[in-house]
Amino acid sequence: MTAVSPPSDGSELPLQAEAFLVHLTVEKGRSPLTLQAYRRDLRRYVAFLAERGCAVEDAGPTDVEAFAASLRSAGLATSSQARTLVAVRSLHRYLAAEELVAEDPTVDLEAPRRTASLPKALPVGDVLALLDAVAAPGVDPGAPLRLRDAALLELLYGTGVRVSEACGVRFGDLDLDAGLLRVLGKRDRERIVPLVRPVVAALATYLDRGRPEIVADAQRRGGIARDAADAVFLGVRGGRLSRQAVWEVIRRRGVEAGLDPVVLSPHVLRHSCATHLLDGGADLRTVQELLGHASISTTQLYTKVANERLVAAFRAAHPRATVRST
């Protein structure tokens, strides 16, 4: 069996694959991140075929099945296998539809079954400890980066926005007087999210006292990036705050709060927001709209988390739950 070895980022794809990616961009409106993932997965596939002396247009069912087997033998997670095979199947369907090949070799390809992973949510007390730690009086409360981090964490937990959505917030998206945020989500779907008072207060303080100092410091370094002029959240060098930087903020502030940084991430705060909303009585449709889920089935995962916690609490507390049969 041929081993899977993804080519370097500098390798090029065949013209047919490049045409397919253009199709995804122009006709399907896929995001740059999605295209990046497709390109990476197709490079892996093309490299595998090249090792077998086969071109994409000549690949048959046996080649595709061998590639799928190689993904399994490489120890990739089921979700990674499934994502890669989606890219391969989509490519071959495109080639067949455009009549660039006689038939689609992936027609009978079975994708690995994904096991629905339950989202992990922090206890309410841990979230509050995180938020209190970053805004704690006496811990350099006026530092611009601390004000930024406090606003960022309040926004992530208070609205459940994705990390990419938080990084993309612009001045025109905020209406602090009305307590509303316009979010541009996946596939450019727009939604309006309400802002609770702590979020509004943290953002107002940061925009009034924190961001101007970050901008002034960046100007002394050479100015802020052109595409970051209207960005709400800035990095220390004056550019738009990156997703990687947000991860680091959460981990660092979590350590200050005495929390385990391993369990902290922007997605965990998003999960926590959704779970705590449902625990508080919000209905599924409301949470779906707030979080920007395309399908209600995604939101329903949170009800499983709540149900499991309810069962565990019942078994731990009810006298009859611990009675053993003789």
Res 326 pLDDT > 60: no
Any long-range contacts for 60-64 (C-beta under 8 Å, 24+ apart)? 60/105, 61/105, 61/106, 61/107, 61/108, 61/109, 63/105, 64/88, 64/92, 64/105, 64/106, 64/109
Joined together, the tokens standing for residue 325 give 């049969």
Residue 162's nearest CA partner among 186, 141, 131, 181 is 186
Q: Helices 144-159 and 124-134 sit at what angle, rounded to 10 degrees?
A: 160
pLDDT given for residue 323 in this prediction: 55
Q: Which of 243, 251, 267, 309 is catalytic?
A: 267
Q: Which of 92, 270, 271, 276 is catalytic?
A: 270
Confirm whether 89 is a catalytic residue: no
Q: Which of 30, 186, 191, 251 is catalytic?
A: 186
Residues 89 and 129 in one domain: no
Q: Is residue 195 part of a domain?
A: yes
Confirm whether 318 is a catalytic residue: no
Print the domain residue range for 156.
124-315
Other beta carbons within 10 Å of 131: 20
pLDDT tens, residue by residue, 269-296:
998 998 888 888 887 788 888 888 777 7
Res 298 pLDDT > 80: no
Calculate what percentage of the chain has a pLDDT beyond 70: 83
pLDDT tens, residue by residue, 32-41:
888 888 999 9
- 278 or 204: whose pLDDT is higher? 204
Residues 159 and 91 in one domain: no
Contact 213, 117 (CB under 8 A): no
Joined together, the tokens standing for residue 163 give 């990390």
Confirm whether 52 is a catalytic residue: no
Q: What is the CATH number of the domain that holds 42?
A: 1.10.150.130
Residues 241 and 283 in one domain: yes
- 325 or 239: whose pLDDT is higher? 239
pLDDT band of residue 313 (cuts 50, 70, 90) is low
List Cβ neighbours of 3 (8 Å cut-off, separation of 6 or more): 70, 73, 74
Confirm whether 302 is a catalytic residue: yes
- Is residue 88 classed exposed, middle or buried when 0-12, 13-18 and 19+ CB atoms within 10 A define those classes? buried
Residues 133 and 49 in one domain: no
Res 10 pLDDT > 70: no
Q: What is the DSSP letter of 229?
A: T
Q: What is the CATH number of the domain that holds 243?
A: 1.10.443.10
pLDDT given for residue 228 in this prediction: 86
Contact 236, 149 (CB under 8 A): no
Residues 258 and 171 in one domain: yes
Confirm whether 186 is a catalytic residue: yes
Residues 175 and 309 in one domain: yes
**Number of structural domains the chain divides into:** 2
Residues 262 and 136 in one domain: yes
Residues 62 and 176 in one domain: no
Q: Whole-prediction pTM value?
A: 0.62
Amino acid identity at 185: G
pLDDT tens, residue by residue, 44-79:
999 999 999 999 999 999 999 999 999 988 888 887
Joined together, the tokens standing for residue 216 give 């002034």
Q: Which of 94, 157, 206, 302 is catalytic?
A: 302
Helix ranges, the chain (H): 15-26, 32-51, 61-73, 78-97, 124-134, 144-159, 163-167, 197-205, 211-221, 243-256, 266-279, 284-291, 296-317
pLDDT band of residue 245 (cuts 50, 70, 90) is very high
pLDDT given for residue 137 in this prediction: 64
- 303 or 234: whose pLDDT is higher? 234
Q: Which of 162, 211, 240, 271 is catalytic?
A: 162
Residues 87 and 219 in one domain: no
